Amino acid sequence: MRTGNHIESYPRHIALSDSVVVWFWLAVLMMALIMLPAVSGLFVLGLAIRILIAAVGAIGLNLLTGSTGQISLGQSGFLAAGCYTTGLLIADYNWPPELALPMSGFVTAALSLLVGIPSLRLKGLYLAITTLAFSFIITQFLLFAEPITHGPYGVRIENTTFFGVDLARPTALYYFCLAVLVLVTLGVLNIMRTRVGRAFNAIRDHDIAARAMGVNLTIYKLTAFGASSFIVGLAGGLMAFQFRFINVDIFSVTLAIEALAMIIVGGLGSVAGAIIGAAFIIILPEVVGDAIALLPDAVGEVLANGALEVKGLLIGLVIILTLRLEPDGLIGVWRNTKRYWSRWPLSV
């Protein structure tokens, strides 16, 4: 009789997953994702690209807010910084895109230290407000520093050739974003299973105890800010390739709230949760939009006119529902389901 999952070696203990079943289904998922452009239309592909980029951004935010407990409302500012770095370096300074994209990560990480250092003693709401203010500073700077940033006119990116592949083609951009997401996912999962990730979680759960265990709070908070923003900056850089014409208007506060919604709905602190949450928050308005189209004309017209408001309403609603019903988010629902079936018929 199977009595449980017995692990018999230390390397298996620290493996990402020691279950063959998990690896098998992951392989199936990867195959499906690779096959997607072959079977999907342009609309679905566009949606998939948005999900992939949002997932990269959500993983970044999750590293800071979910894993380290430093609430950030500055996501749109960091995305803007990444997006404009890539855009301006390519458009105005003729940098090759291969260098401009990683540079987005570094520039955004450096900027995050600028807000991170004065925020070291701030927690919770105060930190949230500081990061929000920082995000406003960035977008206002982008709007008014016209000689550097083109101000309200935006930036057009002509050169999108990455190692000989033109990312202006949706299929190419899709595979590229997928590759970035896979690398970022692996990187963050690895961080989380070393002392660095444990230090992040320790700071979130009990900062004084973390210090007593030898975690240097200053260094690790800044590390979390830097690493998180590096990834968010990459996501911003990807957005430059996605839009190819960038403008400050894209980076509204709503974007930061959406990012926060992704990690809350997905499950705070979980990498898989961030990805699932990103997919959920991107797809939800589309599904609801289709549902609205089925409503009687009068109602449908009102809702269609206020599409943006409806979207905001939906995101607010799912955040409240998640916090009320399952604070661990969709990943928590998944864990509970798994536990239910593995213990059946003894489960309650």
Partner 1 sequence: MTVLLSVENLTQRFGGLVAVDDVSLAVDEGSIFSLIGPNGAGKTTLFNLISAIFPPSEGRIMFGERALHKASTHQLAEFGIGRTFQNLAVFHHATVVQNLLVGLHHRLKANILTAPFFWGRPRDEEIRARRSVEEIIDFLEFEHLRDVPVGQLSYGLQKRVELGRALAIAPKLLLLDEMVSGMNSEETEDIARFILDIREEFGITIMMVEHDMGVVMDISDRVAVLDHGQLICVGSPADVSQNPDVIKAYLGKK
Give the 3-state secondary structure of residue 43: helix
What is the rounded CA–CA span in Å between residue 194 and residue 191? 6
Is 320:286 a contact under the CB 8 Å cutoff? no
Assess 264 for contact with partner 1 (CB under 8 A): no
Closest CB to partner 1 among residues 4, 41: 4
Nearest approach, Cβ of residue 298 and partner 1 (Å) = 49
Q: Site residues for partner 1, window 188-207 (CB under 8 A)?
A: 188, 190-191, 193-199, 201-202, 204-206
Out of 187, 289, 300, 312, the residue judged to bind partner 1 by CB under 8 A: 187
b/e map of 277-289 (b: 16 or more CB within 10 Å)? Answer: bbbbbbebbeebe
Assess 343 for contact with partner 1 (CB under 8 A): no
Nearest approach, Cβ of residue 29 and partner 1 (Å) = 21
Assess 210 for contact with partner 1 (CB under 8 A): yes
Q: What is the DSSP letter of 346?
A: S
What is the rounded CA–CA span in Å between residue 214 and residue 119? 21
From the list 20-28, 78-86, 187-195, 286-294, the region that binds partner 1 by CB under 8 A is 187-195
Nearest approach, Cβ of residue 107 and partner 1 (Å) = 17
Out of 28, 35, 99, 209, the residue judged to bind partner 1 by CB under 8 A: 209
Encoded amino acid at 157, one letter: I
CB-count burial class (<10 Å; 0-12, 13-18, 19+) for 109: buried
Closest CB to partner 1 among residues 114, 209: 209
Is 25:33 a contact under the CB 8 Å cutoff? no
What is the rounded CA–CA span in Å between residue 111 and residue 257? 20
The pattern of x and - marking residues 2 through 41 that bind partner 1 according to CB under 8 A reads --------xx-xx---------------------------
Give the binding site for partner 1 (CB under 8 A).
10-11, 13-14, 186-188, 190-191, 193-199, 201-202, 204-206, 208-217, 223, 226-227, 269
